[in-house]
Amino acid sequence: MVKRLRNTIAVIMGMLIACSSLQAQQLQNGSNNIMQTDIQLWKNGLENKSEFAYNASILQFPVGKISYDVWVNSVTKNILQESNRVKKALAFIIGEKKIYPSASITALIQLLGNEPDSIANIAIFSLVAYGAPAIEPLYNTIEANRKPYVSKWNDLLYEEAKKQDDFEPDFYYSQSAMRATYSLRLMGGDSVLYYYSHHPTLKRYYKCYILDGIAITEQNCKNYFRQVRLLKPLFTDYVEGYVDDNFMFSKLYENYTRERAMNILHLVSDTLLPLFNAYIHSSSRDTPAVVSAKEILKEVDHLYPDTTNWGWYSDPWCGISFFTKMNWLSVHKDSFVLYRDTIIAVLKAKTNVSDIYNRIFVKKLLVLIANIGDAAKSLYPFLLPYTLHTDKDIQYLACKAILGIYTQSNGGFVLYPPKLLLPQPPESYINDDNRLSLYLRLSDELHEGFPLELQRKWDIMTAQRGYGSGYPFGKIYLNAAHEIIQGNIRTINLADTMPLTLITRFASHPDTRIRVFIAYMMGLSDTLPQQALYVLHELMNDSIPLVRKTACLSVSKSMAIDVNIKRFVTVCLLENYFKERLSTEEQTLYDLDMPPFVRAKGGYIAVTPVINTIPSPSLQAVIVANPPATAVKLKDVYGKLKQHLLDDGISDVSTYAYADGFALFTRMERVQEDGSIDKKNRWNCGKLKPDNISEYFCQLFLGQKGSFRGVSLIVSGTRNLQFDNKLINDADYNYLFQKGGVMLPGEIADAPATGKIIHLLIYEFVKGADGTIEFTKSQNEQTIQSHFQSLHLTSFKLQ
């Protein structure tokens, strides 16, 4: 028994020893194992494009929900699409080589040098997050021109702390952990903390060093500082020291003369606060404001070297408290006034701080002003002359500065990049009378005096519901388009009453300008055929080659019977390029008259023309509601018919007043011989080009014929319609369609539909071998049934 017990204990001990050995070995190789796991995860992420995007989004835009949303919605896609080279390089360095030769790092540095900063940062962060030793030479290379203060800082701090009598290692490490928390927040906000706490590798550090301060050991802390040391300069390159915990701004008055203290306050409140805000809220680490801030800081450092210890510079350990103090400054009345007055004085260049600002280029100053928000409203009169400055860069920045002045949201920070606010250079709206342009101004309040032609305040929540599935912000586009149409204006200001999360997404869409113009097209007819949308989109895209634009313009010519496209072509004609391309004959051909509108109070209103005689159709039938409708008005019938036609893809409908009802005419479309829709070339009434070899030989030997139809729906109390004896041709029908109105006249719309009969008229046309389209009278009764079915008038049936 004893022997058995002894054996059991021996076995257990052996197992324990084995486990201990194994654990020790695992610990010894822990980093390698984790590294291998991470590499595999990372490589998998690269392949399925999810892990990388997730990590990148967490790391790159950790400063707040707004920036994070912007990142997730827009930038991530770009990264996935455009940074394959970087990803491949990283995968190569981390995954394939498993070592970090200097040659690879050098290649990576060169590669990153050609990438946008955001991508470069992501690459670096990715390396850091995975603890790659490769970051050391990369870091050293990037930081070659900077003081290696970071690497020495921890050691110095630790040595200084050890000299103190009351030095207690555990307390020191717990304080370090707290500071580390601050630093993580400052570096990346809560998102980085979240990232650290969930990352398979880093969460160990997070749990050990952040949450469980008691368990901190000296070795662990050093490891942690290694992480921080590598991360910190990437986030906080403006941090060059730390401030005394007891620092207070009030001490300025005790140690300096009032004038000097005021100057310092000016500079702090005028520059550091907005810059700090800009830095915190910026979605990019190199916004113009931040760049300007760095320049200013250098100048300040040059002129006031003794103020370095007074803590302009935020401290990673005390950043939050510093931020609080800065907030205090921002609400302090006297400072606020000084803040404003200083900027004014700077502009007048008559103050005692002008020697600082004189060193700063006016461009940088304007960029700075653009980011200081509401406090600079009174600067507007001073800035306005700059919009007419001979230097176009200054013009641009002045406009941006004005925009910034009137932008109160987001701490007075102007969205970046600036092209979101000014899609065109300022001179476009200052001097250019011929260009149809759109300017988006993002603000939560409207102000008089801004050099925009129109300012509108729209309910962003309404806009969010959208107009159609393809346009989540379609309401804004549509409203903008209607403003253009009704007011005959060239500039629109969009004012947003909501946080910039929504409007930013709207404004940052690369197709915003294009979409507004497309909405401008849609403004008259609800929607355009897909082909027209595509062509218009191509035409408005600046990056499309001119050759392609010419082709698109040719396509739009074929659709030019659409009144909206005519208006669009009108716009195109204003561009010199198209003006040169279009001959006089072509310009005349397009009949660029406006659709029937009359000027009225408050804008233009549509006029629906009257048609007295209906051309004789090819086929005629009477349709009735199914089930029979009761107590409806003509506008209900009108709406239902248009909706059915829209469901069938017929968006262009021309409206006439006819007798006691109305008449609708659709655009001529290509159909099969039996009346069914030719889906492929429905709206192409021109010559079809062969798509494949069989089509080519068919067209070569058999030629190309075509059947076309125009549909008319006549709603009238008359059962027997009176037709014109003259046979209609394609030009007549197109003219009829073209000259119609876009809405039902008010007096007819409210009339009761009782007793009204709906006539379905089909105008059939056939294209001959010589290319002419001729009207034809069909004798086949079955054809009208086919036409009716193809129209999908599901609420009606043939009588």
Partner 1 sequence: MNKEGILLSKARNRLFIVWIIGSIVPTVIIMIQTILGSKYEGIAQQVWGWFSPLIFPTITLMIGVIGASAFNRDNDTDKTVDPTFFNITIGLSVFYFLAIDTVILAEPFSDKGNPLSSFTTSNLFLTPVQALTTAALGFLFTSVKKSPREQQASDNT
Query: Least distance in Å: CB of 701 to partner 1?
Result: 6
String marking each residue 767-796 x if it binds partner 1 according to CB under 8 A = xxxxxx------------------------
Total site size for partner 1, rule CB under 8 A: 18
Query: Least distance in Å: CB of 499 to partner 1?
Result: 52
Query: Least distance in Å: CB of 538 to partner 1?
Result: 19
Please tell me the distance from the alpha carbon of residue 419 to that of residue 650, in angstroms, as a whole number.
37
Please tell me the distance from the alpha carbon of residue 250 to that of residue 259, in angstroms, as a whole number.
14
Comparison of 211 and 698: residue with beta carbon closer to partner 1: 698
Please tell me the distance from the alpha carbon of residue 312 to that of residue 309, in angstroms, as a whole number.
8
Could you give the C-alpha distances from 722 to 624, 718, 745, in angstroms and in order?
20, 9, 22
Comparison of 248 and 698: residue with beta carbon closer to partner 1: 698
Query: Least distance in Å: CB of 774 to partner 1?
Result: 11
Q: What is the DSSP string of 55-95?
A: HHHHHHS-S-HHHHHHIIIIIHHHHHHH-HHHHHHHIIIII
Comparison of 92 and 696: residue with beta carbon closer to partner 1: 696
Which amino acid is present at 295? E
Query: Least distance in Å: CB of 683 to partner 1?
Result: 17
Binding segment (CB under 8 A) for partner 1, from list 73-81, 89-97, 389-397, 686-694: 686-694
Name the pairing type of β-strands 455-457 and 603-606.
Answer: unpaired
DSSP classification of residue 336: H
Binding segment (CB under 8 A) for partner 1, from list 226-234, 291-299, 697-705, 783-791: 697-705
Comparison of 610 and 731: residue with beta carbon closer to partner 1: 731
State the DSSP H helix or E strand holding residue 362, giving kind and residue range, or none if neither. Answer: helix 362-369
- Residue 703 is a binding residue for partner 1 (CB under 8 A): yes
- Residue 731 is a binding residue for partner 1 (CB under 8 A): no
Query: Least distance in Å: CB of 400 to partner 1?
Result: 47
Comparison of 164 and 583: residue with beta carbon closer to partner 1: 583
- Residue 548 is a binding residue for partner 1 (CB under 8 A): no
* Site residues (CB under 8 A) for partner 1, limited to 75-134: none
Please tell me the distance from the alpha carbon of residue 317 to that of residue 297, in angstroms, as a whole number.
20
* Site residues (CB under 8 A) for partner 1, limited to 295-314: none
Residue 797 CA to chain centroid, in angstroms?
47
- Residue 686 is a binding residue for partner 1 (CB under 8 A): yes
- Residue 164 is a binding residue for partner 1 (CB under 8 A): no
Q: How many residues comprise the chain?
A: 799
Among positions 77, 85, 152, 689, the unique one binding partner 1 when judged by CB under 8 A: 689
Q: Please report where in the chains the tokens 């997050």 appear, as a residue.
A: 129
State the DSSP H helix or E strand holding residue 713, giving kind and residue range, or none if neither. Answer: strand 706-716
- Residue 5 is a binding residue for partner 1 (CB under 8 A): no
The 10 Å Cβ neighbour count of residue 592 is: 13
DSSP classification of residue 629: P
Binding segment (CB under 8 A) for partner 1, from list 179-187, 432-440, 498-506, 762-770: 762-770
Comparison of 531 and 699: residue with beta carbon closer to partner 1: 699
Query: Least distance in Å: CB of 557 to partner 1?
Result: 10
- Residue 704 is a binding residue for partner 1 (CB under 8 A): yes
Burial 55-73 (b: 16+ CB within 10 A, else e): bbbbbbbbbbebbbbbbee
Please tell me the distance from the alpha carbon of residue 686 to that of residue 689, in angstroms, as a whole number.
9
Q: Minimal CA–CA distance to 39: which of 123, 109, 130?
A: 130
Among positions 197, 201, 684, 699, the unique one binding partner 1 when judged by CB under 8 A: 699
Please tell me the distance from the alpha carbon of residue 307 to that of residue 50, in angstroms, as a whole number.
47
Comparison of 355 and 774: residue with beta carbon closer to partner 1: 774
Among positions 36, 696, 726, 750, the unique one binding partner 1 when judged by CB under 8 A: 696
Comparison of 468 and 771: residue with beta carbon closer to partner 1: 771
CB 52 within 8 A of CB 42: yes
Comparison of 466 and 686: residue with beta carbon closer to partner 1: 686
Comparison of 206 and 683: residue with beta carbon closer to partner 1: 683
Q: What is the DSSP string of 723-744?
A: EESSPP-HHHHHHHHHT-BSS-
- Residue 687 is a binding residue for partner 1 (CB under 8 A): yes
3-state secondary structure of 712: strand
**Which residues would be at the binding site for partner 1 (CB under 8 A)?**
686-687, 689-690, 696, 699-705, 767-772
